[in-house]
Structure 1
Amino acid sequence: MILACLPVLAVAETLRIATFAAPLSRDGPGLLLRDLIKADDPQIGAVVANIKAVRPDVLVLTDFDYDQDGLALAAFSALFDGLYPHYFAARPNTGMFTGLDMDRNGRKGEPRDAQGYGRFAGDGGMAVLSRFAIGDTRDLSGMLWRELPGATLPVADGAPFLTDEVLAVQRLSSSGHWIVPIDLPDGPLTVLAFSATPPVFDGPEDRNGLRNRDELRLWDVVLNGDLGPIPDGFVVAGNANLDPLGGDGLRAAMAAFLARPDLQDPLPGQPTADWRDRGIGTLRVSYVLPAWDWQVQDAGVMWPDTQQGDDPLVAGPHHLVWVDIAR
């Protein structure tokens, strides 16, 4: 009876936030849903097993085919037995038709002529799955590249590489930039989710390298308060496709972002992708970066246990990155 009179102390809940560039994209529209329904795809099975092993509370997927009715995302969520009753996806820029020769190769209608590389609309988009309700998401994916403060646009032979016609429509986001509020019982969590273009597959103008850097720099603009109030309780999560120490790309931009005083880097130097079969090696390209005022409890990268005979690439070259945080 005496114990019943003692005050109950609130214990901050630990949240596990993760991102995974899982290979959940297929060669045409509707094929991901087909494979999910068939339930015999070993790649999907490995992806699901990895997610179930880590059990994040909020998960950002950065290579997930989008369909307008959300059927594939609903089918994927159903594989987790109610763990993720809430999910969100918006139309990505991948595969979004422009009708222009965006890469100036003399042809139109190719995957690189879309707003972001894509063989079809929605190819390799993004998705968020959550244990908790998702609020009204702010989508920054429509911002034009030239509208980003301090944007560095490609130049070839001393002249702008992008024509005026292209500049008038070229979006910054190759896939998407979303500000996603998660409704937690003890206060706000805001996930800044994104997936940037690889900084390769271009020419001496470095179109993709510059765009990759500016896609990262958009979060600098947001966190500096230049696009409105800084989101409460934020965590940056997604695939930057940029390693601060190795690989292609303008690496100094990633190093500078990781050094921001309002961010924490729980996994410095930890590789998140394995391209050794291509002679590239291992690189760090996916990130979960909490704001300075979160308490980081733990963090890790889900690499296959090859000692148990697991195929290290069955779930793709990227690996799930997770961070445990509390207030």
Structure 2
Amino acid sequence: MSSRITRRRALVAATAAGLALPTAAHAAPNPAYRGGLFENLRVATFNASLNRPEEGELLRDLESGEDEQIRAVAEVIQVNNPDIILLNEFDLDEKGAGIDLLRRNYLEVSQNGRTPVFYPYAFTAPVNTGVPSGLDLNGDGVVGGADDAWGFGEFPGQYGMVVFSRHPILTERVRTFQKLRWADMPSNLLPTEFYGVENSAALRLSSKSHWDVPVSIGTSTLHVLAAHPTPPSFDGPEKRNQRRNSDEIRLWADYLSPGRRSQWIVDDAGIQGGLDPSEPFVILGDYNSDPLDGDSWPGAIDQLLEHPRVRDTKPRSAGAVEAAELQAGTDAEHQGEAHLDTADFADPDGPGNLRVDYVLPDKTLQVVSSAVYWPTQGAPGSELTGEDPFPTSDHRLVRVDLQVTS
């Protein structure tokens, strides 16, 4: 039996169970390690738009090694070179083969002369998008389709997530919250009148999933809190998506709060409660919520930005300022500072550019720097961001450099 077959079977088994996915080859040492001190641990989030309209389509593009969008996404990651990165909107296949294909055919291959990146560890798990609920959740009198899945999606795994890491993922300590019910959240925003009593009691809170992924860094552990709440749009007067988005964000706010506020939270293994106050964390993901602009429920993202345990480093870019000036339109009416934007939504019917992607570290962690990867026009890398149709995604990679001691 070849080593490649052995590795693939191990990966398939791990993915099916929602486990960390080790890679045997190309494990590059972390250059930041110096005499027991880890300096400049770079943590990033990137909604890479690696979703496709049909099941299996992304897998075919990954197998080819020649897809232009995926090559550009890989180049963005190579340029920024994070130690830990969450990718949102990565279609998950049942066997998990796509994760290994992304590494082998794109990330570990130089794109336009960039230095390849190697991630010995990865984590993924099932998400709610595209999973049939068996209920009429959109109230059209018919059961079935993307609107009646636990999370909007044409097939199971669409718009999924994956965490890549150069450091070991503590698989046995991972907590997932895919099946946590919305109705179990005290004082929730669930529109029971719209869904009805039966559907409201069954509906899951997370539109994809929420993951607490502990990563071992020397003798320290960093909890990567990953999520991708539903967009607060495509709503009727009941505002069900606005409400769900806000309560998905609130899940992490409660999770970080000791005592009674987090006691309602139960993970998929049946373990109750939130994160111990002594455990450091970083929140990652596309939260689809801007603090001042767009369609969010009032105060939605402020539940995290103003949380007493969370530090907002306010990553910024010059490219976002330039884009707001050139695109004008809705952007000219925004209250928020353009240099904080992380997504280019300035199409004719869009809400304008917004800050929706976040890397929010624990206040106990020392922050070295932060940035949004959004180069100005003509600057190196601008060909990887561009304008609609985007070479990579309408979102930008966001990164924060932390200093973590062992």
- Letter matched to residue 276 of structure 2: I
Q: Which consecutive residues of structure 2, in runs of 5 or more, have no partner in the other structure?
A: 1-33, 109-116, 263-272, 316-336
Q: Per-residue CA shift, 1:206-233, capped at 9, x if unaligned? A: 0000000000000111001321442711
Q: What's 1:154 paired with?
A: 191
Residues of 1 paired with 2:402 and 2:341: CA distance?
Answer: 21
- Letter matched to residue 65 of structure 1: D
- TM-score of the pair, normalised by structure 2: 0.75
Q: What's 1:87 paired with?
A: 122
Please state whether the residue corresponding to 1:50 is helix, strand or coil: helix
Q: What's 2:211 paired with?
A: 178
Q: Which consecutive residues of structure 1, in runs of 5 or more, have no partner in the other structure?
A: 1-7
Q: Is the contact made by 1:197 and 1:212 (CA closer than 8 Å) also made in structure 2?
A: yes
Q: What's 1:39 paired with?
A: 65
More strand by share: 1
Q: Is the contact made by 1:242 and 1:251 (CA closer than 8 Å) also made in structure 2?
A: no
Residues of 1 paired with 2:136 and 2:103: CA distance?
Answer: 37
Deviation at 1:12? 3.4
1:96 counterpart (131, 134, 150): 131
- Letter matched to residue 310 of structure 2: L
- Letter matched to residue 185 of structure 2: L
More helix by share: 2
Change (3 A) 1:251 1:50: farther
Please state whether the residue corresponding to 2:43 is helix, strand or coil: strand
Between 1:287-296 and 1:181-190, the stretch displaced more is 181-190
1:280 counterpart (346, 351, 358): 351
Residues of 2 paired with 1:172 and 1:125: CA distance?
Answer: 16
> How does 1:261-300 map onto structure 2 within 5 Å?
261-267=308-314, 269=337, 270-278=340-348, 279-300=350-371
Please state whether the residue corresponding to 2:231 is helix, strand or coil: coil
Deviation at 1:305? 4.4
Q: What's 1:203 paired with?
A: 236
Q: What's 2:284 paired with?
A: 237
Structure 1 vs Structure 2: percent identity of aligned residues?
41
Residues of 2 paired with 1:185 and 1:214: CA distance?
Answer: 34
Residues of 2 paired with 1:257 and 1:167: CA distance?
Answer: 25
Q: Per-residue CA shift, 1:61-105, capped at 9, x if unaligned? A: 110111121101111122322611111110100001112110112
- TM-score of the pair, normalised by structure 1: 0.92
Q: Is the contact made by 1:274 and 1:281 (CA closer than 8 Å) also made in structure 2?
A: yes
> How does 1:103-252 map onto structure 2 within 5 Å?
103-136=138-171, 137-154=174-191, 160-225=193-258, 226=262, 227-230=273-276, 232-252=279-299
Residues of 2 paired with 1:13 and 1:297: CA distance?
Answer: 9
The RMSD of aligned alpha carbons is 1.7
- Letter matched to residue 197 of structure 2: D
2:377 counterpart (306, 313, 327): 306
Question: How many pairs does the alignment contain?
Answer: 316
Between 1:79-88 and 1:145-154, the stretch displaced more is 79-88
Residues of 1 paired with 2:393 and 2:186: CA distance?
Answer: 35
Q: Is the contact made by 1:271 and 1:283 (CA closer than 8 Å) also made in structure 2?
A: yes
